[in-house]
Amino acid sequence: MKLRFIKLQAGGNDFILIDNRKALIKNRKKCALKLCRRQFSIGADGLLLLENSKIADFRMRIYNPDGTEAEMCGNGIRCLIRFICLKKLLVQKKISIETADGIYSGKVKGDLTLVKMKEPKEIRLNLKLRIKGKKYTLYFINLGVPHTVLFVDDLEKVDMEDLAPSIRDDKRFFPLGTNVDFVKIVNYHSLKLRTYERGVEAETLSCGTGAAAAAIISYKLRKVDSPVKISPSSGESLKLYFDTSLMDIYLEGKATKVYEGECSPNH
């Protein structure tokens, strides 16, 4: 059985999106493991499945390349909203999406796609962690998925493969694992970011929830204020807008179609 798919990307964070409202894909984990493999298949940072919802306009299921299901993905949901508009599946401007973390809403604004983020949870500041004999100060936040922020002076010198997995897998602080964000403050409205994503188990070119996590933690430490421009590894920036109470948080950036094709996800 052949199914149509569309490849989309947001800041270099790339996804395979399939309309699964007819439930043609039964084994979602197997499908993600097959299709997300770079060099051997389509290749992507994640598989997005558009499905039916009883409580929102649509439901998003997102699977990492290792087959695990993610609760939420900031860039992924923006790509899904862009897809819905490209295919004209809805006529209204505001679109609601059910995720494992609850309902999110967003819209397309020209070449930009915006999503309203949820109020952050479980913020923990000044966590002290010793890795290979060196002490680090970390900051934890949950924005639908867990993120740990580490401020650095030189992003280019960060050894992601050596440092990030030690933080990601620390069971004392992060029993369920965590994404790891390395952040450099540029000025009061700008920062740079590199993210190691849980489930991908590698650095990705961009991460929407990581961008939001970096900006909000920076705001809590009085290093930035809204709006914040976040420049990930890809160089394609995102913007985060928020109020002082952190009740109204909006993530905005480009989400674009790369190409379309056919695949055999069940074989």
Q: Are 154 and 184 in contact (CB under 8 A)?
A: yes
Q: Is 79 a catalytic residue?
A: no
Known catalytic residue: 207? Answer: yes
Residue 95, class by beta-carbon neighbours within 10 Å (0-12 exposed, 13-18 middle, 19+ buried)? buried
Annotated active-site residue in 31, 36, 207, 263: 207
In angstroms and rounded to an integer, the radius of gyration of the C-alpha atoms of the chain is 18
Which of the residues 36, 73, 79, 263 is marked catalytic?
A: 73
Task: Please state, in angstroms and rounded to a whole number, the distance separating the CA atoms of residues 32 and 76.
Answer: 14
Cβ neighbour number for residue 153 with a 10 Å cutoff: 8
- Spatial CB neighbours of 152, under 8 Å, sequence gap ≥ 6: 158, 182, 183, 184
HSE at residue 125, side-chain half, CA atoms within 13 A, is 7
Q: How many CA atoms lie within 13 A of 249 on its CB side?
A: 23
Give the three-state DSSP class for 2.
coil
Contacts of 254 (CB under 8 A, 6+ apart): 10, 11, 111, 112, 113, 236
Catalytic residues: 73, 207
